[in-house]
């Protein structure tokens, strides 16, 4: 499920959740709701390119990934994972959810 939410006082973000309700991905803030919706709707075109996923390790050794558009601009980031395998599984889950949501949900 994709949730569009107000962010702070003047922007919007979207979150993509697993079937069980866990947050898989949070977007960067967008200036308006329309931009957030349009970006969320375009995820299916981006998710099958592995170059759009930037795998990272934070300063405490936890893993995360950033999801970028075709121009290399950040769309959003994942939750933190304790292992690299967990992060890779998170990418697979995100890919599967975007594919399912894109074919069944309207924003």
Residue with tokens 């949900």: 105
C-beta of residue 17 within 8 angstroms of C-beta of residue 23: yes
Q: What does the pLDDT look like over 28-37, one tens digit per residue?
A: 999 999 999 9
Mean pLDDT of the chain: 90
* Structural domains of the chain, count: 1
Contacts of 68-73 with C-beta under 8 Å, sequence gap 24+, read 69/39, 69/42, 70/46
Domain interval for residue 66:
2-104
pLDDT at residue 1 is higher than 90: no
Q: State the pLDDT at residue 103.
A: 54
- Could you tell me which of 48, 58, 44, 17 has the C-alpha nearest to residue 103? 44
Give me the CATH number covering residue 37.
Answer: 2.30.29.80
Per-residue pLDDT, 102: 58
pLDDT attached to residue 105: 55
Q: Model confidence over 57-82: pLDDT tens digits?
A: 999 999 999 999 999 999 999 999 99
pTM across the whole model: 0.86
């Amino acid at each position: 499920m994709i949730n569009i939410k107000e962010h702070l006082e003047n922007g919007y973000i979207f979150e993509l959740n697993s079937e069980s309700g866990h947050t898989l991905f949070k977007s960067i803030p967008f200036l308006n709701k329309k931009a957030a919706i349009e970006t969320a709707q375009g995820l299916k075109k981006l998710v099958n390119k592995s170059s759009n996923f930037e795998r990272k390790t934070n300063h405490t050794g936890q893993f995360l990934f950033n999801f970028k558009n075709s121009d290399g601009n950040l769309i959003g980031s994942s939750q933190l994972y304790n292992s690299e395998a967990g992060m890779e599984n998170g990418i697979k889950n995100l890919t599967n959810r975007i594919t399912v949501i894109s074919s069944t949900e309207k924003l």
